[in-house]
Structure 1
Amino acid sequence: MRESVASSNIASIGYDDASETLEIEFHNGTIYQFYNVSQGVYEQLISAPSKGQFFSAYIRPAFPYSRVG
């Protein structure tokens, strides 16, 4: 289940610790799942002052992903 976040690009973020899957929904409606994301990285994303900047710097280039929506 995703939770809404305050971000100009990201609408909501969800995380499944059992599968280490991060799910991000953008304001344009696209949804991506990122794999092998540790709980620590997820927590850093949630607490980042700019979730979009953190995503662009540390998640998008570092983890395999697929578009799911």
Structure 2
Amino acid sequence: MHEPVRSTNIRSVGYRQAERVLEIAFLSGGVYRYDNVPADVHGALMASPSKGGFLARFIKGHYSYRLISS
């Protein structure tokens, strides 16, 4: 289940802890799945005042991902 967030780029964030899967839905319409993301990284993303900045700095380039919906 995705949780809506306040962001200029991100619409909602979903996380499945058992699978360590993070899903990011962007306002532009794309949904990306990031694999092997630890729960503490998801928690830090949700606590960050800048979701897009956190994503760019700590998730993109650190975890494998793929587009699951456009």
TM > 0.5 fold call: yes
Provide Cα deviations, 1:12-67, integer angstroms capped at 9, x if missing partner.
00000010000000000000000000000000000001000000000011000010
TM superposition outliers: structure 1 runs of 4+ over 2 Å: none
Distance 1:12 1:49 in 2: 14
% identical equivalent positions: 39
RMSD of Structure 2 on Structure 1 (CA): 0.4
The residue identity in structure 1 corresponding to 2:48 is: A
Gaps of 5+ in 1: none
Number of matched residues?
69
Distance 1:56 1:66 in 2: 15
Gaps of 5+ in 2: none
Larger strand proportion, structure 1 or 2?
2
